[in-house]
């Protein structure tokens, strides 16, 4: 496997001496890309998985370093590795070869091992995912290797579409695209004007994402969620319009994680579906890091109990 590294100059994080670096590593013959922002002595590492039609740039809000997870987290002691999910970034030309779910899980873990293997991990690895990225996060956490994760954060996901989304998805033609953007980016006041609509971070998504969702929501999601044996936090944006967020829907979602030792619901005020790109992104990221810290303390307590007195 080979690795190439690039540096995004002029984009230093607050309080962090190291810039965000772009990495491309080869995993089983597939070039996989990611952004890495390192804390000098990390408390833990956050592996971030973006949603559909974007890349790892989702976690580094262009022109707004204060809203960037890749800037905020290292300043507070957490390294962040934001992957371009399989079929995005450098692996986009190979999307048809890596559409199988098991293949994508292996690639994701391969990137994590390749880029983090020789770096300090602190207490361990925590997975954060948004929207379509939650599918990969759940699969990673349900995998046998998932038992070693500190925990998982999921946002912008669900099992049943919001009534507004049902109406939009039933429409064909150009109107569908415009209405879909409204679901994903309204209310517009929640986002910086130059970020609204997502053009600055847009990317073409792989074909497999269009076909996996029906099976995922009805069968794979509940089956795999029940296998997760680490703490889970589910974050719901106050203005989420893609997925149902009523009390019954949320209760059913939380119940899926029957094997998790702890399941937390976080309701994020002043946020739309694209929760890491809005004005409230910093508030959201701080809540995630608070949950990661709690997961670290749980891991520390387990170590203390095993240590000889």
DSSP 166-215: HHHHT--SHHHHHHHHHHHH-SGGGS-TTTTTSGGG--PPPTHHHHHHHH
In this prediction, residue 300 has a pLDDT band, given cuts at 50, 70 and 90, of confident
Task: Please say whether the beta carbons of 132 and 52 come within 8 A.
Answer: yes
Q: What are phi and psi of 26, to 5 degrees?
A: -95, 125
Q: pLDDT tens, 131-141?
A: 999 999 999 99
In this prediction, residue 99 has a pLDDT band, given cuts at 50, 70 and 90, of very high
pLDDT at 178: 83
In this prediction, residue 6 has a pLDDT band, given cuts at 50, 70 and 90, of low
In this prediction, residue 3 has a pLDDT band, given cuts at 50, 70 and 90, of low
Provide, for the chain, the percentages of residues in helix, strand and coil under a 3-state DSSP scheme, each rounded to the nearest 5: 45, 20, 35
Residue 130 has pLDDT above 80, yes or no: yes
Alpha helices in the chain (DSSP H): 69-75, 101-116, 133-142, 163-169, 174-185, 208-215, 221-225, 247-255, 281-306
Q: pLDDT tens, 197-220?
A: 999 999 999 999 988 888 899 999
pLDDT at 13: 41
In this prediction, residue 12 has a pLDDT band, given cuts at 50, 70 and 90, of very low
Share of the chain above pLDDT 90, in %: 83
List the one residue out of 73, 93, 74, 97 whose CA is nearest residue 84.
93
Count of the separate structural domains present in the chain = 1
Q: What is the pTM of this model?
A: 0.93
Residue 25 has pLDDT above 50, yes or no: yes
Q: pLDDT tens, 235-290?
A: 999 999 999 999 999 999 999 999 999 999 999 999 999 999 999 999 999 999 99
The two tokens of residue 137 are 């996060």
Residue 244 is part of which domain span? 3-306
237, with CB counted inside 10 A (0-12, 13-18, 19+), is buried
Parallel/antiparallel/unpaired status of strands 30-37 and 19-27 = antiparallel
Measure the CA–CA gap between 268 and 254, rounded to whole angstroms.
Answer: 16
Q: Which CATH number do you get for residue 24?
A: 3.40.50.1820
In this prediction, residue 222 has a pLDDT band, given cuts at 50, 70 and 90, of very high
């Amino acid at each position: 496997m080979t690795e190439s590294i690039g540096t995004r100059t002029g984009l230093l994080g607050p309080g962090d001496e190291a810039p965000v670096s772009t990495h491309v590593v080869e995993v089983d013959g597939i070039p996989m890309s990611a952004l890495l922002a390192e804390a000098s002595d990390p408390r833990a590492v956050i592996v971030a998985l973006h949603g559909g039609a974007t890349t790892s740039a989702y976690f580094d809000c262009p022109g707004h370093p204060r809203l960037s997870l890749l800037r905020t987290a290292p300043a507070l002691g957490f390294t962040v590795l934001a992957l371009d999910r399989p079929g995005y970034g450098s692996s986009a030309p190979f999307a048809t070869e890596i559409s199988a779910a098991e293949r994508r899980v292996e690639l994701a873990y391969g990137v994590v091992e390749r880029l983090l293997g020789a770096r300090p991990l602190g207490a361990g690895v925590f997975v954060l995912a948004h929207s379509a990225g939650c599918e990969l996060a759940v699969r990673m956490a349900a995998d046998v290797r998932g038992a070693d994760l500190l925990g998982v954060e999921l946002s912008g996901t669900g099992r049943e579409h919001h009534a507004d989304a049902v109406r939009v998805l039933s429409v064909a033609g150009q109107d569908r695209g415009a209405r879909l953007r409204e679901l994903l980016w309204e209310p517009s006041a929640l986002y910086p004007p130059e970020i609204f609509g997502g053009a600055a971070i847009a990317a073409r998504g792989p074909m497999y994402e269009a076909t996996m969702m029906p099976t995922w929501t009805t069968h794979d999601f509940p089956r795999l969620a029940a296998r997760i044996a680490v703490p889970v936090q589910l974050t719901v944006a106050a203005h989420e319009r893609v997925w149902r967020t009523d009390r019954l829907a949320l209760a059913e979602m939380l119940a899926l994680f029957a094997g998790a030792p702890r399941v937390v619901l976080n309701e994020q005020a002043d946020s739309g579906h694209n929760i890491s790109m809005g004005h409230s992104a910093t508030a959201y990221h701080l809540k995630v890091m608070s949950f990661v810290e709690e997961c670290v303390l749980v891991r520390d307590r387990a170590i203390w109990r095993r240590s000889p007195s």
